[in-house]
Every structure is written in C-alpha cells, then in structure tokens.
Amino acid sequence: MRKFIIFLIFISAVATSQYFLDFVRPKYSEVPPMLLPAQAIKLSDLGLHAAASGLIWVQAIQNMFAPGTKNQLMLPSYLNVVNNLDPRFSYPYAFGALVLPDLKFVDEAIKIGERGIRDADSDWRIPYYLATTYHIFKHDRVNALKYFDIAARTINAPDSVKKIALNYGSAPDIRQQTKQIWISIYETSEDEIIRERAKLYILHYEYIELLEKAASIYKQKLGSYPDNLGKLVTSRILKEIPEDPFGFDYTIDSKGRVNIKTR
Amino acid sequence: MYGILVFSLLFLFSITVIGSLSLGEDLFVIRSFGLAGIYLFGLIIALFTGASLMYKEVELKTIYIILSKPVKDSEVILGKFFGLLASIASIMVLMGLIYLSVVWLNGGGFDSGSILAIILQLFEFSILISILILFSTFSAPIASTIYTIVIVYSGHLLTLMLNYAANTGGFQKYMALGVYYLFPNLEKFNIRNLVVHNSVITQTEFLLTAGYAIIYTSLVLFLAHIIFQKKEF
C-alpha cells in the first residue's frame, strides 16, 4: 500500500511538472517540417514503400491542418513524396487536385491530378476533382468536360457523378452547375475537410442566389436594381447581408448580378 | 523476446488510431502499417534470438552435451534452424491473426492477400535465419546481428546493382551482376506493396519465390554445416 501511494505521488508529480513545463515554456516560432526526398526514403525503408507512403500521408495531413500552421505551402511537396513512394496510392492525387487550387497551386493540382489518372489505382475522385479544378479555377470547360466524363466512366463512380457528367454544359446557368458539382462532392465525400469545403461553396452560391432574388424584388418595387447591397437592408427586403463563408465581400452590378468583389 | 512480442501486438491494435488520422484512407494505412509491423517486429525477434543461437551453445559449453549423444552435426544445425523458424512462424501466426481481425473490424473483410504476403515473409525469414546460424557458428552475437542487418538492407536494394550493371561495362558490370545473383534478393519476397492495392502475384511467381528461398536456405545451412564440422570443441 505504501509503495502504491509513493507510486501515485510520483505519477502525479510527473504529470504536474509536465503541465507546468508546457505552461511556462515560451512558444517558439514554428520550424518547418523536414521532408526527405522519396529516393532517400526508398533506400532505407526495407521495401516497405506503401507503409512509408502512408506515414508521410498521415504526417502531411497532421502538419497541413494543424491549427495556426503556416506549412500549407509544403503540401505539393508532401503529396509528391507520398506518391513517389507509392504511385498507386490514389487518394493523395484526388486530394491534391481538389485542395491545392485553393492554396494558389492550380498548375500543381492539375499536374498531380493528371499523374494520378495515369499511375494510381482506378479512383473516380481523381478525374472528378481535376474536372472541378479545370471548371472553377481555369474556366476550361473542355478539359472539365473531359475529366467529368472520365470520372463518370470509372468503376464505382456514384450515380450523382454520372449525372453531373451528362448534364455538364447543358444547363444555361454556369453558377447553378458549379453549385451542383459542390453538392455532389458534399454527398459523395467521406472526408470532413472536403465536405466542409463543399458546404462552404454551396452556402456561397446560395447566398448569391438569395441576394439576386432580393435584388429582383427591389427592382419590382422601385424600378431599378440597387447600386449597392446595403439598399436591400434599408428597403427592408433583407434583414442583413449574409457574410460570405470565404470571407469576401459581395457586390452587385447594374444588371442585378451578384458576385464577389474583386478589388 | 516476449517483450517485443507484446509490443508488436500493442502496435497492431494501435494502427486503427493511426488509420483514423489518415483522412478517410484508414484501410490503406491500417494494412500497410500492419504488414510493415509484422515484418519489422518479426525481423527484430529473428535477429536477436538467432544471432546467439550457436554461439551461446559453444560459449556455455552445452554443445558438448548435445554432441556426446548420437546426434550428427548436420542434425544440430537443422534442429536449430527448424526450431527458430517454428518459433518465428508461431509468432507471425499470432500477429497475423490479430492483423486480420483489425482489418476485418475496420471493414476490410477477410484480407486473403495479406496471408500470402505473410507466408512469403516467412520464406524470407528462413533465409535470414540460416544466415544468422551461419554467422553464429563463427562470430559473436553482436557481429552476427550487424552482418545480417547489412545483408537485409543490401538484399532489399539489389535492384540498384542490376541498374548499375546495366549502365556500366567490363569487369565492374560482371562484379555487379555477381553481387546481384549471389546475394539473397529479399525484395522478391516483398508483395506487401501490391497486397495493399489488392493485387496478387501469379501462382508461378509464388512457387518460384518459394523455391528460391528453399534453395538459398539449403545453401547457407550447408555452409554453416561445413564451418560447424571444422570447429574443434
């Protein structure tokens, strides 16, 4: 019993000292993670390339999305190492094709996605996310259509993806179509980060639709579109202007079209 | 050895947690880490138990008791080999069962491809155990372990030798080719990278690999037998 109490005292002392160390130690600036070249890892992993690839992937996710991190800019390098170690590991290609454009790595995203289609195990998410990148960031409807079609033809592609591929280009409103794409990403992805992003995009387009509808009501009442969105509130059509989920400001033009303020 | 075994089993249970950090790629991470864990822990156990196998018998002079009985030298070598192989095999069966249950519990179903990977791993270990016994007949355990680790590394990088041979000429080319064909090519037993992507090897490839392991093991045990015979007790 005495020994047990001494043991408990020691354990509590260890935990307490650890707590105070964390509390007292100043926060040092974040050191960027070191990333070994894939060739060096291959020379030392005893042929366990898939496990090494999985390990770098987990490390990439933890480093990239840690709160307050500044390491997102290393994401393309991480993804390249992951897939140089295991070129058949499909998800990092899909992830890169979807997430990198948001970090201003549009060309890298396309390169990674196209390599994924060539080298990875069959996975509809790679061409699908690549198509969304072409559509949204490059405004390249031809390539978007091409990759939507590849996605629709991939084994295990969900019906919603096939429908998007079929409808792509037929809807008169581009924005509506983009919204449809994000809705299908939200419905098909199991990853919280991607679903969260898709939700933000859907919300973003819904707010634009709401503001345009409010602008039409304004025109019916007062004969012309408002020259700024604040007038929708002063004329009591809306209680407030919704805040864009990506943090941008909305603007309205003379034809009542709402968009993100570019300057 | 039991400590390492317990640690390896804990590792196999904990890979579910590592898998959950992988953003939806749980099964890939669980399978690749699980198979890597079975390989690495099996290797550690084989290295540390095999390196002192013959050396201890000679140092503690217990070999005299064995040799005073109507037992041939070759039987001693074979007995040591099959004894260690059986204990490594039983450890791998245990780790394999836990691995299969972890994969099954995470929705991966019955992972039959991994069983093939573990069987080929056992063939690889049969070569390593024979090499350990060979070194153990004439060197101290630490030296045997280091020599075998060097062979394990070079055995997984022999393709580099083949590439080197293809890009060079003359004597160096034949030296490189000699090293490539004489060293144990342990990468032949590595189908873990295929299995995690649900690919399997053909029956012919499996039989050739198993045959290669049996021939190489026999060769090394034969060398160990010669050295053991020449030893004066």
What is this model's ipTM? 0.75
The span from the CA of A188 to the CA of B179, in Å, is 51
pLDDT over 60 (residue A170): no
Non-local CB neighbours of A23 within 8 Å, separated by 6+ positions: none
Beta bridge partners of A252: A258
Q: How many CB contacts within 8 angstroms connect chain A with chain B? A: 72
Average pLDDT over residues A225-250: 87
Cβ contact A99:A75 at 8 Å = yes
pLDDT digits (tens, 9 = 90+) for B200-227: 888 999 999 999 999 999 999 999 999 8
For the beta carbon of residue A14, count every other beta carbon within 10 angstroms. 10
Q: Any idea where the domains of chain B sit in the sequence?
A: 2-230
What residues 17-36 of chain B have any CB closer than 8 A to a CB of chain A? 18, 21-25, 28-29, 32-33, 35-36
The span from the CA of A242 to the CA of A219, in Å, is 20
pLDDT over 70 (residue A81): yes
Task: Tell me which DSSP letter residue A27 carries.
Answer: P
Residue A70 phi, psi (nearest 5): -115, 20
Q: For residue B26, what is the nearest residue in chain A, using CA coordinates?
A: A54
Which alpha helices (DSSP H) does A120-173 contain, by range? 125-137, 141-153, 159-167
Q: What angle do CA B77, B83, B86 make, to 5 degrees?
A: 135
pLDDT over 90 (residue A155): no
Closest-CA distance of chain A to residue B69, Å: 42
Nearest CA-CA partner of B195 in A85, A88, A156: A88
Nearest CA-CA partner of A114 in A103, A104, A129: A129
Interface contact B32-A91, CB threshold 8 A: no
Residues in chain A, total:
263
Nearest CA-CA partner of A99 in A133, A134, A128: A133
For the beta carbon of residue A23, count every other beta carbon within 10 angstroms. 7
Task: Tell me which DSSP letter residue A255 carries.
Answer: T
Claim: this prediction has a pTM higher than 0.80: no
pLDDT digits (tens, 9 = 90+) for B94-153: 889 989 998 998 888 888 889 999 999 999 999 999 999 999 888 888 888 999 999 999
